[in-house]
């Protein structure tokens, strides 16, 4: 395979020379580099590469080129090379100029560029390289070309192969899917050895699992499972942003900490292709990346993790709590944090439920987006998550239609996203509309839309449907002692009211539930703000409250898990 291309085009000869020097110095071994001052040359070269099926990883363009703007050229690149990252080259300090700042925001809002890059200064300019390598990482993610990628080989897109892709996706593990009768699939099956039951999961170290269970994947991915006789200061149920934040703060502040998740890392955040409003990430960050980093950080501080084990019970026991797992084990802890988040509501149309994974998807499109290139897809939902999904899909699909029950986008979406949605040419919005039917032969082919005002129905061709229609809290499994509101969200602190039966000899702490020593944080909590930053904030606050709880009970963080005096009786 020829090496992927890095293309830079800038009228400014000096600036282009600096860019070329830096690109060649660092990337020439693995990429082919083309630098030109002419946008016509660049355009012709990019067209030729597209016609020859060659991969372009990155295109950098100066602000003005042969009388047109660099963002216009970058907008054209999107259609020629949908996976390529596209950034505008600007001079240092340009972002301080209001007009330039507005133009950049506008170009990003319209999807014409992915971001901006400040032209390099004297070599070595590590800030420039950090930006370039970040863009190349995004390109590799979009192309599913990350190192240590797990391959799933299945007979069809749906069924168990789809479930496995979902499990790996929820664990924020880079993975790739191919059909067993594709060239790549045949090669992987031959390498694994004939006669193995599909689907196959092939790990980067060569381990092959034939038709594995979720638990098989967890142990092959290195998750510790034998926790009998262990005792922790804190067990966190859920490894979404709230749980991961509590794990980082808890473990770093001396609490022996165990995090258990029925899926894997990152919770709902892994469905978010680009979180742009999280503090400290001006270019945005994918939920998956954020979760991977938080996991590494918590692990570094000594937190323990168990994936693909559902917590099914929680009870008081002697001077602590015991937490029961779906696989039958139990672990003892002094305190627990419920960070179980929420799950999507289902559409409830049998013909569409049957196509789950075969054109119909619950949640964000991060893993499926590259497969919808050139197709017509629909997104159902009116909240921020639906807006983000539609924008992300618009980078790949021929046309995206956002179907919204409300009569205005502003009813459920942040203003900045409404602006982006309205400004994106390939994105249509159908307000006051619902999906009432649909189907297809093995893959989604059509949908039935109903106008909520006059009841008229229309059947439309559709290759993909992404459902983002709200969520319910993952709290059904909790014991009755944990009080919840009428929608199932966990009540904490002052929301518990005063007329309680005295389970606690003191007032509950701010995030403490009606079950003493059990805290709740993030989306599962009544009254929580459904955002990554607030879930992270609540996770850290929970640890401060844990300090106060330990102080009130005369306890000290134990630093590392210790052996329980006796195994917990089953």
Ligand X SMILES: Cc1cc2nc3c(=O)[nH]c(=O)nc-3n(C[C@H](O)[C@H](O)[C@H](O)COP(=O)(O)OP(=O)(O)OC[C@H]3O[C@@H](n4cnc5c(N)ncnc54)[C@H](O)[C@@H]3O)c2cc1C
Q: Kindly state the smallest distance separating residue 22's Cβ from ligand X, in Å.
A: 32
Per rule CB under 6 A, is residue 235 in the interface with ligand X? no
Per rule CB under 6 A, is residue 518 in the interface with ligand X? no
Q: Kindly state the smallest distance separating residue 528's Cβ from ligand X, in Å.
A: 7
| CB nearer ligand X, residue 384 or residue 433 | 384
Which residue stretch of 141-149, 235-243, 480-488, 507-515 sits at the interface with ligand X (rule: CB under 6 A)?
235-243
361 beta partners: 466
Q: Kindly state the smallest distance separating residue 429's Cβ from ligand X, in Å.
A: 18
Report how many residues bind ligand X under the rule CB under 6 A: 40
> Is there a contact between 322 and 228 (Cβ–Cβ < 8 Å)?
no
Q: Kindly state the smallest distance separating residue 330's Cβ from ligand X, in Å.
A: 13
Distance from C-alpha of 435 to C-alpha of 444, rounded to nearest angstrom:
13
Distance from C-alpha of 401 to C-alpha of 403, rounded to nearest angstrom:
6
> Is there a contact between 474 and 310 (Cβ–Cβ < 8 Å)?
no
Q: Site residues for ligand X, window 359-398 (CB under 6 A)?
A: 363-364, 384-385, 388-389
| CB nearer ligand X, residue 55 or residue 166 | 166
Per rule CB under 6 A, is residue 239 in the interface with ligand X? yes
**Residue from 45, 129, 160, 531 that binds ligand X (CB under 6 A)?**
531
Per rule CB under 6 A, is residue 339 in the interface with ligand X? yes
Distance from C-alpha of 126 to C-alpha of 132, rounded to nearest angstrom:
10
**Residue from 120, 341, 357, 359 that binds ligand X (CB under 6 A)?**
341
> Is there a contact between 203 and 188 (Cβ–Cβ < 8 Å)?
no
Q: Kindly state the smallest distance separating residue 244's Cβ from ligand X, in Å.
A: 7
Decide: residue 556, CB within 10 A, 0-12 exposed, 13-18 middle, 19+ buried: exposed
Give the x-and-dash track for 242-271 against ligand X (CB under 6 A): xx----------------xxxx---xxx-x
Q: Pairing between strand 360-362 and 330-338?
A: unpaired
Distance from C-alpha of 484 to C-alpha of 527, rounded to nearest angstrom:
11
Task: Kindly state the DSSP code that residue 381 receives in the 8-state scheme.
Answer: -
Which residue stretch of 206-214, 481-489, 516-524, 552-560 sits at the interface with ligand X (rule: CB under 6 A)?
516-524
Structure tokens at 458: 């229309």
Tell me the three-class secondary structure of 93-150, residue by residue.
CHHHCHHHHHHHHHHHHCCCCCEEEECCCCCCCHHHHHHHHHHHHHHHHHCCCCCCCE
Distance from C-alpha of 333 to C-alpha of 317, rounded to nearest angstrom:
9
| CB nearer ligand X, residue 405 or residue 446 | 405
| CB nearer ligand X, residue 62 or residue 464 | 464
Q: Kindly state the smallest distance separating residue 488's Cβ from ligand X, in Å.
A: 12
Which residue stretch of 53-61, 428-436, 492-500, 522-530 sits at the interface with ligand X (rule: CB under 6 A)?
522-530
Q: Site residues for ligand X, window 441-500 (CB under 6 A)?
A: 474, 477
Per rule CB under 6 A, is residue 522 in the interface with ligand X? yes
Per rule CB under 6 A, is residue 223 in the interface with ligand X? no
Residue whose Cβ sits closest to ligand X: 341
Which among 455, 434, 101, 146 has a CA at the least distance from the CA of 286?
146
Q: Site residues for ligand X, window 296-335 (CB under 6 A)?
A: 310-311
Distance from C-alpha of 378 to C-alpha of 355, rounded to nearest angstrom:
14
Whole-number Cα distances in Å, 418 to 275, 362, 368: 15, 22, 23
- Residues that bind ligand X in the complex, under the rule CB under 6 A: 237-243, 260-263, 267-269, 271-272, 275, 277, 310-311, 339-342, 363-364, 384-385, 388-389, 474, 477, 522-524, 530-533, 535
């Amino acid at each position: 395979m020829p090496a992927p291309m890095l293309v830079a085009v800038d009228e400014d000869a000096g600036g282009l020379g600096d860019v070329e020097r830096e690109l060649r110095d660092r990337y020439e071994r693995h990429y082919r580099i083309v630098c030109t001052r002419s946008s016509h040359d660049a355009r012709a070269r990019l067209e030729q590469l597209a016609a020859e099926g060659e991969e372009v990883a990155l295109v950098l363009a100066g602000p003005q080129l042969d009388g047109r703007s660099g963002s216009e050229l970058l907008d054209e690149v999107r259609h020629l090379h949908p996976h390529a990252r596209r950034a505008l080259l600007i001079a240092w300090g340009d972002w301080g100029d209001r007009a330039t700042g507005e133009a950049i925001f506008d170009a990003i809002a319209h999807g014409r560029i992915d971001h901006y890059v400040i032209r390099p200064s004297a070599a070595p300019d590590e800030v420039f390289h950090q930006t370039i390598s970040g863009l190349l990482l995004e390109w590799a993610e979009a192309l599913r070309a990350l190192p240590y990628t797990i391959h799933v080989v299945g007979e069809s897109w749906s069924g168990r192969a789809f479930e496995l892709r979902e499990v790996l996706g929820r664990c924020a593990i880079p993975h790739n899917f191919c059909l067993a009768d594709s060239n790549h699939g045949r090669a992987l099956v031959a390498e694994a050895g004939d006669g193995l039951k599909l689907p196959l999961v092939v790990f980067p170290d060569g381990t092959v699992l034939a038709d594995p269970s979720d638990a098989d994947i967890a142990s092959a991915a290195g998750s510790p499972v034998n926790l009998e006789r262990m005792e922790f200061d804190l067990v966190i149920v859920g490894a979404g942003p709230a749980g991961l934040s509590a794990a980082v703060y808890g473990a770093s502040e001396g609490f022996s900490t165990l995090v258990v998740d029925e899926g894997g890392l990152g919770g709902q955040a892994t469905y978010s292709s680009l979180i742009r409003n999280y503090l400290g990430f001006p270019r945005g960050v994918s939920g998956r990346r954020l979760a991977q980093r938080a996991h590494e950080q918590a692990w570094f501080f000594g937190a323990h993790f168990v994936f693909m084990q559902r917590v099914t019970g929680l009870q008081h026991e002697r001077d602590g709590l015991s937490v029961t797992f779906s696989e039958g084990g139990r672990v003892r802890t002094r305190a627990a944090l419920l960070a179980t988040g929420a799950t999507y509501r289902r559409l409830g149309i049998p013909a569409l439920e049957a196509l789950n994974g075969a054109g119909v998807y619950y949640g964000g499109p991060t893993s499926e987006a590259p497969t919808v290139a050139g197709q017509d897809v629909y997104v159902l939902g009116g909240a921020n998550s639906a807006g983000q999904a539609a924008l992300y899909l618009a980078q790949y699909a021929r046309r995206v239609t956002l179907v919204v029950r409300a009569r205005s986008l502003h009813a459920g979406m942040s203003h900045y996203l409404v602006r982006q949605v309205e400004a994106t040419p390939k994105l249509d919005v159908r307000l006051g509309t619902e999906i009432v039917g649909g189907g297809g032969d093995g893959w989604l082919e059509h949908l039935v839309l109903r106008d909520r005002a006059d009841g008229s129905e229309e059947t439309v061709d559709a290759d993909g449907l992404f459902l983002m229609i709200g969520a319910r809290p993952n709290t059904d499994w909790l014991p009755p002692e944990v009080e919840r509101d009428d929608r199932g969200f966990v009540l904490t602190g002052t929301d518990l009211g005063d007329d309680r039966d005295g389970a606690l000899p003191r007032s509950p702490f701010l995030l403490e539930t009606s079950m003493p020593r059990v805290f709740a944080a993030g989306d599962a909590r009544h009254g929580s703000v459904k955002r990554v930053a607030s879930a992270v904030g609540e996770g850290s606050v929970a640890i401060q409250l844990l300090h106060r709880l330990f102080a009130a009970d005369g306890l000290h963080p134990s630093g590392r898990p210790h052996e329980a005096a006796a195994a917990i009786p089953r």
